[in-house]
Amino acid sequence: MKSTLHFILVKEMLADRLASLIFVVVSGIASGITGIVLLAFINSYLHSAHAFDEKDALVFLALVALVTGSWVASSIGMTRIVQAVVRDLRLQLSRQIMAASYSTLQKLGSARLMANLTEDVSVLSQALQRVSQICISMAWLVGGLAYMAWLSLSLFLFVISVIVFGAVIYYLHSRLAMRPLHSAREQDDALYTHFRALTQGVKELKLHRHRAQGFLKNGLVPTAKASCQLNISAMIFFIVAAAWGSVVLYILMGIVLYGAHNWWNVTDETVVSGYILTLLYIFGPISVLIDSIPELGRAKVSLIKINTLRQELEERINVTGDVALYPVPAQSCTIELKEMCFSYHQDGSDFTLGPLNLMLNPGELVFITGGNGSGKSSLMLLLVGLYTPEQGSVLLNGEPVTDTNRLLYRQQFSAIFSDFYLFESLLGLSDDQLDQQAQHYLKWLQLDHKVSVKDGVFSTIALSQGQRKRLALLTALLDDRPVYVFDEWAADQDPQFKELFYTHILADLKARGKTVVAITHDDRYFYIADRCIKLDNGVISEITEHPGLRMHQSAVPHNQESSA
């Protein structure tokens, strides 16, 4: 029952391509049947007194053309189906990932998601590609057996009993390989986690020899060895089983050569040669079927992993409905946190943020301060709608934010997180003057000598962390959202750009009626904020009000104000 549920995914993927799949299967079967006819044609002439004339040559060439043509058609058709299935499956998983809650994705982990999108889908595509080969091989095998039955029924019954016996032994061996295959796939998830740590933490590893050695000795190396050993164990079972299949076929040919005359009293040389030719002929198809079993076993494991991920994403998917994504004017975007609470497990202990009560008004500049672990980043994720409060509520202009309107709520924010991701292009922005506007900001942020924008694409993002943050800021300014949220944006900036950020950029956003929330430790600029809110162990411990900067002439060029 469980296996049936997992293979529902395959049915879903192939449902819209049923006609193409039927064509692939029919073409494969046609190739196999024609191949057997060709074999019978050749065998009939091995012991025939009739000369092989021009007519026979034409028949021979026609059969060869049919065998080859139908094989090519089946293979090409299956390639098209497989590539379309891989594309659709990856896009479907990507859409589900985008629709799932941020907390769910954090629990799943990026390594597991990457393994599903890459390795599992690739393994599944390789197995599906085998479908046309399996169809052809099955047709050849069935046709070959039918031909042998036509030549001698008594000899055929013995041959088929030996083949069935060999197949049962192979099946039992292949089942033994499934457990290490499952375990190896679990190790692959851990291996992807180590690869992620290797690529993203290489600087830290290079600076700390003992940490690098510990990473290899206690993390990457044992996981890689475990994955390798488990795969070897699984493949040994398959190799031994394949060797057993070869031995059975060779012994079977020997028995036919000896027993045809001595045991079954077969005197017709055409029957004996036909059996030997057919056994040699079906040896290839049987090898294809045997070689397909490890791939199908790996595909089953990957299929289970993919389907499990789909179910987990579907269970926790966000309900967005048909919400119209209309903009909310900055001057009327008021946000209120009302008795809001959120908890999570961190470093072996439970942490609770809240209850929090906070009102954010248009045109207000608010700084969030506090020590490490005080809940600042969690507050930011709750504020922008990536986390859902466990208790209390978030209100936008007096209306509660729920699952049905959370997507709309998120569209009110431009945020730069401490672990931000910088895209290579200005995705989602489509203004005729976009390149010119971006170029003005590049000059203002002193990046125009390193970066240019053409058709909304940055010429490079291979910059320092501080410069990459400036490009992220450029993107946020072009978004022109009602609310801006910054998580330690100035931490990687030199004094000049810190001054620019606090006294010009934030002041300009405030002057244009934007709500600005910034997590910061730069106490020398606290006076700029209307309010400084200090968090301590998940609760607001202090609120300090300041006069704030008065509205003044923006440092941004006037022709940018409409898009900044």
Q: Are 353 and 379 in contact (CB under 8 A)?
A: yes
* Confidence band for 85, pLDDT divided at 50, 70 and 90: confident
Q: Residues 172, 238: contact at Cβ < 8 Å?
A: no
CATH topology of domain 330-560: Rossmann fold (3.40.50)
What are the pLDDT digits (tens) for 200-209?
776 667 767 7
Q: 244 CB contacts (<8 Å, ≥6 apart)?
A: 166, 169, 170, 173
484 touches 334 (CB < 8 A): no
Q: To which H or E segment does residue 149 belong?
A: helix 121-151
Residue 15 has pLDDT above 90, yes or no: no
Kindly report the number of other CB atoms within 10 A of residue 79's CB atom.
Answer: 15
Residue 10 pLDDT exceeds 70: no
pLDDT at 253 over 90: no
Q: What confidence category does residue 152 fall into, taking pLDDT thresholds of 50, 70 and 90?
A: confident
CA dist., res. 242 & res. 251, Å (int):
14
Locate the domains of the chain by residue range. Answer: 2-315, 330-560
Domain 2-315, CATH: 1.20.1560.10
Total-model pTM:
0.69
Rounded Cα gap, residues 245 and 248, in angstroms: 5
The 3-class secondary structure across 382-397, one letter per residue, is: HHCCCCCCCEEEEEEC
Over range 398-419, report the average pLDDT: 89
For residue 319, the model assigns a pLDDT of 45
Instruction: Decide: 388 and 334 in contact? Cβ < 8 Å.
Output: no
Confidence category of residue 556, pLDDT binned at 50, 70, 90: very low
Q: What is the mean pLDDT of the chain?
A: 81
Per the CB < 8 A criterion, the answer to whether 370 and 408 are in contact is: no
Position 344 scores a pLDDT of: 77
Return the percentage of the chain with pLDDT > 90, whole number: 18
User: Whole-angstrom Cα distance, residue 201 to residue 221?
Assistant: 16
Report how far residue 89's alpha carbon sits from residue 309's, in angstroms, rounded to the nearest whole number: 12
What is the pLDDT at residue 210? 76
Q: Do domains 2-315 and 330-560 have the same CATH topology?
A: no
pLDDT at 185 over 80: no
104-113, 321-330, 345-354: least confidently modelled range: 321-330
H or E element at residue 128: helix 121-151
Q: Is the pLDDT of residue 550 over 70?
A: no
